[in-house]
């Protein structure tokens, strides 16, 4: 085995299942561009992604919006917070500018986090499950 093949194997083994599948697809694409232009399909077996349940953290009776965001981030550590940034930051900015009771804003933040979690679970369900 050449040095390049050994390096590729070592790197491949360091990747998670999804990234291994991506690397295999990319390698098949590159091989299809070469002489002969055709490569037999490589069966890619993806292991199911296990989405953990949210951490059950009770909502305090008195909670600031910032504290609620921190609590929700701990409740849903599996979520990509950048995907929710626009919705959450717009909501928080509006609440800060208008003042008032933060309870309704916190309710809306909880709904945003919960709906993103539900979407993550749906996106990772096995087909036909």
Q: Which pLDDT tens digit goes with each residue over 23-66?
A: 887 877 777 777 766 656 666 666 677 889 999 999 999 999 99
Same domain, 69 and 118: yes
- Whether residue 128 is contained in a domain is answered as no
- Whether residue 76 is contained in a domain is answered as yes
pLDDT at 20 over 90: no
- Nearest CA among 55, 27, 52, 51 for reference residue 41: 27
- Whether residue 29 is contained in a domain is answered as yes
- Whether residue 59 is contained in a domain is answered as no
What is the pLDDT, as a whole number, of residue 47? Answer: 66
Euclidean distance between CA atoms 82 and 68, whole angstroms = 17
Structure confidence by residue, pLDDT tens digits, 102-127: 999 999 999 999 999 999 898 887 55
Residues contacting residue 123 through CB under 8 Å, at least 6 positions apart: none
- Whether residue 82 is contained in a domain is answered as yes
């Amino acid at each position: 085995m050449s040095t390049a093949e050994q390096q590729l194997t070592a790197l491949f083994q360091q990747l998670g299942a999804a990234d291994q599948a991506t690397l295999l697809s990319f390698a098949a694409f590159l091989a299809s561009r070469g002489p002969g232009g055709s490569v037999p399909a490589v069966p890619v077996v993806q292991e199911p992604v296990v989405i953990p349940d949210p951490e059950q953290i009770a909502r305090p009776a008195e909670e600031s919006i910032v504290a609620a965001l921190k609590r929700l981030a701990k409740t849903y550590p599996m979520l990509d917070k950048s995907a929710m940034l626009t919705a959450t930051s717009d909501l928080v900015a509006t609440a800060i500018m208008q003042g008032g009771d933060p309870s309704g804003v916190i309710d809306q933040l909880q709904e945003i986090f919960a709906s993103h979690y539900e979407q993550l679970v749906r996106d990772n369900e096995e087909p036909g499950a």
